[in-house]
């Protein structure tokens, strides 16, 4: 990995962790898009998963009193089923497919309530979210906009949404790391994994960005939080779809 690529990745970690600290998502999508442009897909997934797991873990710690642990436990049940299916199929997309999936995922923020009345607080929906979000996050790298659809119609506050989503994504990214690391290690050994120094440098930056984003979150209203999240994610998705088409 070149010094320029490493520098871009570290700056992106700080900026995207700041965004995710505010909205609980969006930052991860941008980070995945940048990584896919700089390094092979497997390397991108491993770096992204490690940094995002730490960032989400720290975010969950900051807002730990707001976590809905009942929802998390139900979400985890669905995740277990998805994990078994993913390892059985063992399918991994190429770079262009990753861009396409990322772009399409962002458009889910515009899914009308009349089409799918999603609410993670309702019966069986947390389990369903665990299954589909875990599967998509593992193969595409990010599933934040899909996860958001399960929260946008709840009675939860912005702090509860960010905190609960964060703890579910710790699990999602941990699985992603294992899923993409295993074939790399089996084929080439641990020497082909991302350099440890890059991860060690990225971790404090992700924590700093998360902390700064949290300060902004405190000053937002619940209405502005949900509206801003929708338009930000859509803008990112348009760029990713253009990239998937080869126009950028």
pLDDT along the chain (248 residues), means of 10: 89 88 74 89 91 87 92 95 89 85 79 74 92 90 80 84 91 93 83 84 88 80 66 80 80
pTM, whole model, 2 decimals?
A: 0.82
Asked if 8 and 197 touch (Cβ cutoff 8 Å), the reply is no
- Crossing angle, helix 41-62 and helix 95-106, to 10 degrees? 40
Domain boundary assignment for the chain: 3-244
| pLDDT score, position 125 | 92
Coil/strand/helix, residue 124 = coil
């Amino acid at each position: 990995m070149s010094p320029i690529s490493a520098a871009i990745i570290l700056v992106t970690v700080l900026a995207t962790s700041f965004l995710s600290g505010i909205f609980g998502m969006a930052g991860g999508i941008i980070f995945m898009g940048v990584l896919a442009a700089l390094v092979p897909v497997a390397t991108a997934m491993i770096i992204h998963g490690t940094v995002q797991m730490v960032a989400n873990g720290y975010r969950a710690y900051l807002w730990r009193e707001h976590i809905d642990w009942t929802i998390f436990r139900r979400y985890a049940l669905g995740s277990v089923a998805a994990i078994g299916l993913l390892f059985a199929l063992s399918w991994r997309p190429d770079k262009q497919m990753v861009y396409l999936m990322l772009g399409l995922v962002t458009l889910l923020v515009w899914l009308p309530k009349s089409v799918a009345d999603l609410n993670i607080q309702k019966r069986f929906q947390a389990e369903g979210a665990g299954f589909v979000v875990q599967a998509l996050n593992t193969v595409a790298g990010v599933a934040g906009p899909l996860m958001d659809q399960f929260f946008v119609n709840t009675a939860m506050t912005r702090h509860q949404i960010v905190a609960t989503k964060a703890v579910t994504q710790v699990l999602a990214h941990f699985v992603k790391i294992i899923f993409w690391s295993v074939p790399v290690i089996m084929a080439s050994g641990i020497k082909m994994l991302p350099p440890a120094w890059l991860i060690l440098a990225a971790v404090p930056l992700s924590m700093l960005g998360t902390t700064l984003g949290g300060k902004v979150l405190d000053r937002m209203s619940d209405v502005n939080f949900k509206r801003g999240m929708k338009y930000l994610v859509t803008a990112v998705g348009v760029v990713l779809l253009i990239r998937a088409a080869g126009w950028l």
